[in-house]
Copies of this chain bind each other. A is one copy, B any other.
Amino acid sequence: MTKPTKTQANRAKTEAGILRAAEEVFAQKGFAGSSMDAVAQQAGISKQLILYYFPGKDKLYQAVLENMIDLWLEKMQFNDDPEASPASTIRQYIQQKIELSRDYPNGSKVFAHEIINGAPVLKTYLIENLKPAFERDVKIIERWIAAGHIRPVDPKHLFFTIWAATQTYADFSTQIQLLLGKPSLEQDDFNEATEFLCNFVLSALDAQH
Counting chain B CB atoms within 10 Å of each CB, the highest count among A179, A197, A201 belongs to A179
Residues on B with C-beta less than 8 A from A157 are: 192-193, 196-197, 200
Determine chain A's interface SS by DSSP, over half rule: helix
Pairwise interchain contact A116-B180, C-beta atoms closer than 8 A:
no
The answer to the question of A171 belonging to the interface, with a C-beta cut-off of 8 Å to chain B, is yes
Residues on B with C-beta less than 8 A from A33 are: 29-34
Counting chain B CB atoms within 10 Å of each CB, the highest count among A154, A157, A193, A200 belongs to A157
Partner of A203, one of B34, B115, B174, B206: B206
Pairwise interchain contact B199-A153, C-beta atoms closer than 8 A:
yes
Residues on B with C-beta less than 8 A from A31 are: 33
The answer to the question of A118 belonging to the interface, with a C-beta cut-off of 8 Å to chain B, is yes
Residues on B with C-beta less than 8 A from A127 are: 178
The answer to the question of A164 belonging to the interface, with a C-beta cut-off of 8 Å to chain B, is yes
The answer to the question of A104 belonging to the interface, with a C-beta cut-off of 8 Å to chain B, is no
